Amino acid sequence: MTVFDQLASRYDAWFDGEEGRLIFQIELAAIQAATQTAPRPWLEVGVGSGRFAAALGIDVGVDPSENLLKMARERGVRVVRGYGEHLPFAASAVGTVFLIVTICFVDDPLPVLRECQRVLRPGGKLIVGLVPRESPWGKKYTAAGRHGHPFYVHARFYTVSQVESMLSKTGFTLEGCRSTLFQPPDCVAQPELPQPECSATAGFVVVRARA
């Protein structure tokens, strides 16, 4: 996580660019579509600079990067420093957990998913936002990582099927998906409405599961 502390401002500034603003709104709409009836309180693991948490009204966020947490606090998000593998919350304390483009940046998603299962109440929801590895966007970011991109060099992207398998292994039951960002990389020019499907060609997929 050192890179996110060192380059926190660069990471956060992407959201203010013309393309970044539009992609954020497209992804946010897909997440919002998956939050219907999601029980409170809401926890985001990997809250980063708090862009999604502030827009969604998430109750509390966790992240290991102090510099990003400072930005999240400035956006009015209640935050706690911590790691997804060891969440600083009691068992069954949370109604819904969000993992928004977080799975690709952890060493091993399974311990993180087990911790999400632990802190969720029975019947609680897990909402996972990911960039599918097999999508044009996943291929673009994977290639950028191979060429030394400071963030994507640390990322490991997964297929939708792999994520579904991880959820099953950690005791979650899949409830549904939303897919969006069908426009190709570097050609995002207009808003999109999320589609109620798990599409391997979408640049952003939101998976909802039950604890």
| Beta-bridge partners for 86 | 83
Element (H, E) at 165: helix 160-169
**pLDDT exceeds cutoff 90 at 46:** yes
pLDDT digits (tens, 9 = 90+) for 176-188: 999 999 999 999 9
pLDDT digits (tens, 9 = 90+) for 72-99: 999 999 999 999 999 999 999 999 999 9
Q: Which two tokens stand for residue 137?
A: 């966007």
Q: Is the dihedral of CA 190, 155, 63, 122 positive or negative?
A: positive
Give pLDDT tens digits for 127-137: 999 999 999 99
Q: Please return the burial class of 91, using the count of CB atoms within 10 Å of its CB with bins 0-12, 13-18 and 19+.
A: exposed
Write down the mean pLDDT value for the chain.
Answer: 97
Query: Can you tell me the mean pLDDT for 50-60?
Result: 98
Q: Say if CB 1 and CB 67 are below 8 A apart.
A: no
Task: Quote the pLDDT of residue 111.
Answer: 98
Mean pLDDT confidence for 34-50: 97
> Would you kindly state where each structural domain of the chain is located, as residue ranges?
2-210
pLDDT at residue 1 in the model: 58
Q: Tell me what percent of the residues of the chain surpass a pLDDT of 90.
A: 97
Determine contact, residues 67/13, Cβ cutoff 8 Å.
no
Tell me, what DSSP letter sits at residue 152?
Answer: G
Q: What is the pTM of this model?
A: 0.97
CATH superfamily of 2-210: Vaccinia Virus protein VP39 (3.40.50.150)
